Amino acid sequence: MKSAYARAGVDLALANSLKGRIQRLVRATHGPEVLGKIGGFGGLFRADFKGAPVLVSSVDGVGTKLKVAFAMNRHDTVAQDLVNHCVNDIAVLGARPLFFLDYIGAEKLEPAVFDALLSGFSRACKAAGCALIGGETAQMPGMYKRGEYDLAGCIVGVVDQKKILDGKKIGPGDAVVGIPSNGLHTNGYSLARRIFKNVKLDEKLPGLKLTLGGELLRVHRNYQPLLASLRPMLKGAAHITGGGLVDNLDRVLPPGCDAVIETRRWKRPAIFRILQERGKVAGAEMYQVFNMGVGMALVVSAADAPAVARRVRGWVIGSIARGAGKVRIV
């Protein structure tokens, strides 16, 4: 007979069973720095830093991209998105990730969905050299629609104080290099879903290599290894997330400097052209909602720009000019 709590919609026995199955997946992300085991009240990470270490933290979610995952019944990709988004947000400061914690809030825990999410978290953390040391799973009947859930993640990384990438060395004459994205990443989905509301996710639109659903679920890239390899040449870096180039690149500009971005310097992936045409979205708004094919913007000296562009297989997309700390799209 079900317990009273289970009849109310919260199955503690199921939750405990699912949590007991994650040890193998999570352990694959652990190095000797991780102490204890998953399931305690807190995750333990033994720090052994040299130099002048500064801890860097960030927290984020996946937004309404989850709605596409629900419709496609594909859940491992959004878990990877969450890890990689968080990794990128601290990578722009020069930090390397140390550990990650996840939060899953659901109407009801579905074993297959839970396993897919943990598999995605673990795969992305292992690839990033980041320990998955804990998290929280909450069953909240009445808070979510049946079959739906929400995700959030918290990451902690470290950077030597002398190597923090803060943009202070950026000046007029520097160049902006764009690293290619592979799709929408995790931003702009409320608009994208509205534009595509009458298109089936299994439909293949002209110009796309995948079905619409496959295109929209492309995994957010992890740019941290690239940034780490380029660190001596970097003066600033911006993760192009919500707000696009307009509202992200300006966050690393010092007072008195504008970034002038020339859109003719790179080819937009087809998905953005389709979104703009079908949604009749103004060009200026497109660059303030979507990444438009640029997942990360790097500021380097003009002399280093060609070599950096080759290394990241990207483009020199603009330059730094005197101004008021704004991004100008031309």
What is the reported pLDDT for 206? 93
What is the reported pLDDT for 99? 95
Q: Where are the domains of the chain?
A: 4-163, 175-329
What is the reported pLDDT for 30? 78
Residue environment code for 114-125, b if the CB has 16+ CB neighbours within 10 A, otherwise e: bbbbbbbbbbbb
What is the reported pLDDT for 4? 52
What residues of the chain score a pLDDT lower than 70? 1-26, 36-41
Q: Does 175-329 match 4-163 at the fold level?
A: no
What is the reported pLDDT for 186? 95
Condensed to tens digits (0 to 9), the pLDDT of residues 259-271 reads 999 999 999 999 9
Give the pair of three-digit tokens for residue 73. 């019944």
Measure the CA–CA gap between 188 and 284, rounded to whole angstroms.
14
- For the 175-329 domain, the top CATH level (class) is alpha beta
14 secondary structure, DSSP code: H
What is the reported pLDDT for 75? 96
Q: Which CATH superfamily is domain 4-163 in?
A: PurM-like, N-terminal domain (3.30.1330.10)
H-only helix segments in the chain? 4-7, 12-20, 23-27, 65-72, 76-91, 111-128, 189-195, 212-216, 224-230, 270-279, 283-289, 305-312
What is the reported pLDDT for 141? 87
State the residue for tokens 């002399």: 303
Measure the CA–CA gap between 152 and 62, rounded to whole angstroms.
7
What is the reported pLDDT for 277? 96
Helix 12-20 crosses helix 111-128 at what angle (to 10 degrees)? 30
Classify residue 255 as left (phi > 0), alpha (psi -120 to 50) or beta. beta
How far CA 73 is from CA of 25, 78, 141, 152, 171, in Å, comes to: 21, 11, 20, 19, 47
State the residue for tokens 């690293």: 179
